[in-house]
Structure 1
């Protein structure tokens, strides 16, 4: 390989080139590889590439070289899972994402009669960095598109997408899901008396309160104005009632500062349980029933939780005609 040792193009090209025989012995090693590996030709010549770089899958590389020699055609070499062939450490000062150079590798026939191939190594770290950054930015943009800008709670769009996924999961795992819908009591009076900026503070305070009483598996969404909806995953109606009651009680203790002193507010709640058969596998039906429960709460003094109990489809026509009352909770019976 003396002809390559002093070849200007071979040693000035901006990618790695090495010549291997079918036993993976190194026959030529260009200047790019010397610089990036800190190993000159004398140190690597006639050495087995995989002995110098143990992370390489030797059997896989031999199969690929054999295929190239048989077909006499160049072939791309997949470097997964490491994303590199030759392990070249990167400076953590100039590269904050990858510890090792990300590479594309092509194997081409060089001298078929001598069973030699040329292995081309291309540094694609910058491209990978750009793609990684774009993925992060796209993820952030997607997250922003799912969030209410004022409260940072999820919006309707995200709620319905996530509800579809969670309900499908719940059906497979035979889990129960519930809907809690809530609305701030006399919110118009707050806006009219103290101004919309105070009204916004009330909504934000409510959203923060909801986060403290829900799990990561639950979904909180602002449906508009002062109305919020929670999907409680793996929760029966009894547990959903407890969650709603705790939220209702804590809301009463929230104090919002105004020029006229601190003010307090309350909220009303409706709770329903998703039933695959009765709801025709549509969460809108569950939300509609919870909304009717909320309406009952609003028309029976506000600051209440109203729950429904599953009694069968034939009894839903009478659902909002009969009530029993226990403290601040109305149960439809």
Structure 2
């Protein structure tokens, strides 16, 4: 990429410099082709307009340098020097502008800054065009004496020093930015290398020229332009230079809410985005190139290798898995997506791991599940889920000729509690009763809110007599443990009704048919009668409800066992 400034030019006639002239003209042609290619739509160049202007101004500089070199008089050379400055002073800031844009730094490129970047080049152009009046840029331009070929020496003025310093600053700035991005953008090192060469080669040539070590004292910058322009055009057309601008990649990569980890084939970390760093606070620049195992295992018990499923031929396949993740003792749920990164030839280059935070989604799913299966206030099973699960348990009990009991109870005078103490205390009373019951019940028992203040318990493996003991423990615990309310204690009582499989008519003779009936009910969740087959669960619950009614009629705070068979 041609950038630089001129101190001295040699004026030639004849053929000694024909090869050099050809190279310089070639550089101009290459820059025109490069600019037109960027506008053709075949190249997705970042900041197309800036790149096009850069290429055209570079072409102007190249052609003018060639014509100056071929000039036959001092006045002719002076004219072409002015033409050179139509392009040359603007190339360094344009180059820096393109690099900053490519590296995703457009947030810094405000309109005011862009204007300021071209103030010094614009002043330079004006001073060069009017140099004969003030000599601020060149104090003098004269032909060198005692040479075979006409040569021109230039004595620098004060603004020449300013322009030269600004040119060097832009070039060094571009080099520093590219080097700083080298480690952060390993996938774009070809592009970075191309741009670095486009800066380093002209800068090195300029220093050699200033040191007086170039052949015959010639400025090498126009010749170097041939190399850098050819390199850029080759990279632009065949190697995808700028095709996927890192600004887009970097903005996408860094702004993603999902954590992204890039690993090589040995599971060593190649790159990561800020979201991944938040999920794994131990990540840092020192983690690059290191195995990820240690950091990974600090946050989950899921081995990282288990995420890498393989086919028989050894090719990794994409995998999706949900895992629990811990950060500073806080629990998260992540969906882990892994996929293979392959080179253009299909060879495996590494792995891409995306960590998607599904903690909120998991929480909402759990809430929906709770709402579907549990009562909203007491958090025990609701009636629908109780019926479904009880059908399954009853089916298993009948198949294995085991007992199963059902206990229904109702809070005595619950309306009076609401009327006297308010519905808030009424809700607390329901929660208090649930807590008392859970102290008595086994993990296998099903406990549900059947209605407003009515509850039901399924006791697999229990006979009616065993269920009586359970009901009595709950009743006595309620009576002995009043619920504290403001300024007093609230004594809560309940009435209980019990029924068991032994209350089914001709239970022993009809087990097989009844088990089939219960199984069908469980599979379909249908509690209605099916022809002559009456749902066994509904029979038992009806018996328990009748027993509960009898308990209320006998004075409440008591229990009754069904004395009927159905």
TM superposition score category, shorter chain reference:
0.5 to 0.7
Query: In structure 2, which of residues 463, 471, 478 is the aligned counterpart of residue 251 of structure 1?
Result: 478
Distance in 2 (alpha carbons) for counterparts of 1:77 and 1:288 = 56
When normalised by structure 2's length, the TM-score is 0.39
1:123 aligns with 2:353: yes
1:294 aligns with 2:548: yes
When normalised by structure 1's length, the TM-score is 0.61
The match for 2:317 is 77
Distance in 2 (alpha carbons) for counterparts of 1:36 and 1:196 = 60
Question: 5+ unaligned residues in a row in structure 2: which ranges?
Answer: 1-186, 192-240, 254-260, 273-284, 291-302, 505-510, 519-534
Query: In structure 1, which of residues 105, 119, 125 is the aligned counterpart of residue 339 of structure 2?
Result: 105
Matched-pair contact (CA < 8 Å) for 2:321–2:336: no
Q: 1:91 to 1:39 in 2, by over 3 A?
A: farther
Distance in 2 (alpha carbons) for counterparts of 1:253 and 1:91 = 44
Q: 1:307 to 1:221 in 2, by over 3 A?
A: same
The match for 2:190 is 7
- Please list, as runs of the form range in 1=range in 2, the aligned pairs for 1:1-333 lying within 5 A after superposition: 6-8=189-191, 16=262, 32=271, 38-39=288-289, 55=305, 60=310, 63-65=313-315, 77-78=317-318, 92=327, 97=332, 102-106=336-340, 110-111=344-345, 117-119=347-349, 121-125=351-355, 127=356, 129-130=357-358, 132-171=359-398, 174-257=401-484, 261-274=488-501, 280-281=517-518, 282=535, 283-308=537-562, 316=565
Distance in 1 (alpha carbons) for counterparts of 2:306 and 2:487 = 73
TM-fit CA distance, 1:289: 0.8
Matched-pair contact (CA < 8 Å) for 2:309–2:319: no
Indicate the structure (1 or 2) with the bigger Cα radius of gyration. 2
Q: 1:175 to 1:81 in 2, by over 3 A?
A: farther
Distance in 2 (alpha carbons) for counterparts of 1:55 and 1:247 = 51
TM-fit CA distance, 1:244: 0.6
The 3-state SS of whatever aligns with 2:381 is coil
TM-fit CA distance, 1:240: 1.0
Task: Give the structure with the larger helix fraction.
Answer: 2
Distance in 2 (alpha carbons) for counterparts of 1:286 and 1:267 = 20
TM-fit CA distance, 1:180: 0.3
The 3-state SS of whatever aligns with 2:565 is helix
TM-fit CA distance, 1:167: 3.2
Distance in 1 (alpha carbons) for counterparts of 2:270 and 2:372 = 49
Q: Deviations over 1:217-243 (max 9, x none)?
A: 112212222211111123222221110
The 3-state SS of whatever aligns with 2:495 is strand
Matched-pair contact (CA < 8 Å) for 2:496–2:548: yes
Report the number of matched residues: 265
Q: 1:95 to 1:305 in 2, by over 3 A?
A: closer
Q: 1:172 to 1:64 in 2, by over 3 A?
A: farther
TM-fit CA distance, 1:303: 2.2
The 3-state SS of whatever aligns with 1:7 is helix
Q: Deviations over 1:120-168 (max 9, x none)?
A: 522311x2x22x5412331133214433333333321232233234334
The 3-state SS of whatever aligns with 1:215 is coil
TM-fit CA distance, 1:181: 0.2
Q: Deviations over 1:95-134 (max 9, x none)?
A: 96589x94522365754xxxx6134522311x2x22x541
TM-fit CA distance, 1:265: 3.4
CA RMSD after TM alignment: 4.5
Q: 1:296 to 1:64 in 2, by over 3 A?
A: same
Q: Deviations over 1:56-108 (max 9, x none)?
A: 8999467144xxxxxxxxxx61558899xxxxxx9946996589x94522365
When structure 1 is superposed on structure 2, of 135-144 and 162-171 the one drifting more is 162-171
Matched-pair contact (CA < 8 Å) for 1:255–1:262: yes
Matched-pair contact (CA < 8 Å) for 1:17–1:118: no
The match for 1:23 is none
Q: 1:94 to 1:106 in 2, by over 3 A?
A: farther
